[in-house]
Amino acid sequence: MTMRKAWIAVAMLLAASTSAAAEDPPSAATPEPQDQWTEFQSPERGFAILFPGTPQMTTAPVEGQNPLIQYDFQVGIGDGEVYQVVVFEYPAGKAPNPPDPDYFVKVAGAYAKGSGSSLRKRGPATIADRAGFEAITDDGKNKLNHLVDIVPAGDRIYMLISAGPKGHAASDEAKRFRDSFRVLGDQPQSAANPE
């Protein structure tokens, strides 16, 4: 799976909007049975979501834009199914807020390019009662299908990504993952004031 390349491209695009470069994402966590969906909460990162297992978490500073931080929460199932939340925490007042439509298109396009896929569908979407963006991408061999959602919330940009076999973006699992996402608290804490 080329999720690593996708994250490099997305992180570089996000960093470019604040004149920074980003680190690579984590590898997939140990596979767990699909019927083990439980809510994962990260009060420190301001979100909750259902994962099909316990996510592996990694943190990487974004070079050149200290203290911009990238937090990755990921669960991999088998060889081709991945559920991931990426949280980009910007310094207070530095996140694109609200992001313009071109920002969303650029991020989705960078993800597609980095993952070796192409955009099949993209556009505005409401996720967790917030104005956001959703894209569906497919690789050229129709083996992997990605559902990508981008949710801005104060000094954070959340990316919800699930990828799996052909048709995954319309699957019950992809919808369950996306629809279970929620932002915790009224005001997310800024990366400038970590807990």
Give the pLDDT of residue 143: 81
Residue 69 pLDDT > 90, yes or no? no
Report the alpha-carbon distance of residue 31 to residue 28 in Å, rounded.
Answer: 8
Give the pLDDT of residue 163: 94
Residue 116 pLDDT > 90, yes or no? no
Residue 46: C-alpha distances to residues 36, 79, 134, 176 (Å): 23, 30, 20, 19
**Cα torsion through 128, 40, 71, 163, rounded to 10:** -70
Residue 18 pLDDT > 70, yes or no? no
Residue 9 pLDDT > 60, yes or no? no
State the alpha helices, DSSP H only, in 24-159: 101-114
Rg of the chain over CA atoms, in angstroms? 15
Give the pLDDT of residue 28: 45
Give the pLDDT of residue 94: 85
Q: What is the mean pLDDT of residues 103-116?
A: 86
Q: Whose structure tokens read 């929620």?
A: 182
HSE-CB at 39 with a 13 A cutoff on CA atoms is 11
Buried b (16+ CB within 10 A) or exposed e, 70-85: bbbbbbbbeeebbbbb
* Partners of 137 in beta bridges: 119, 146
SS (H, E, C) 32-69: CCCCCCEEEEECCCCEEEEECCCCEEEEEECECCCCCE
Q: What is the pLDDT of residues 132-143, one digit of tens each?
A: 999 999 987 768
Query: pLDDT: is 107 or 133 the higher one?
Result: 133
- pLDDT band at residue 8 under the 50/70/90 scheme: very low
Q: What is the mean pLDDT of residues 6-20?
A: 44
Return the percentage of the chain with pLDDT > 70, whole number: 74
CB neighbours of 18 closer than 8 A, spacing ≥ 6? Answer: 62, 65, 68, 90, 94
- pLDDT band at residue 159 under the 50/70/90 scheme: very high
180 phi/psi in degrees, rounded to 5: -85, -10
- pLDDT band at residue 19 under the 50/70/90 scheme: very low
Q: What is the mean pLDDT of residues 105-113?
A: 87
Q: What is the pLDDT of residues 71-80, one digit of tens each?
A: 999 999 987 8
Record the pTM: 0.78
Residue 10 pLDDT > 90, yes or no? no
Q: What is the mean pLDDT of residues 44-69?
A: 88
Architecture of domain 3-29+37-149+159-182: 3-Layer(aba) Sandwich (3.40)
Report the alpha-carbon distance of residue 191 to residue 195 in Å, rounded.
Answer: 9
Is residue 53 within 8 Å of residue 31, measured between CB atoms? yes
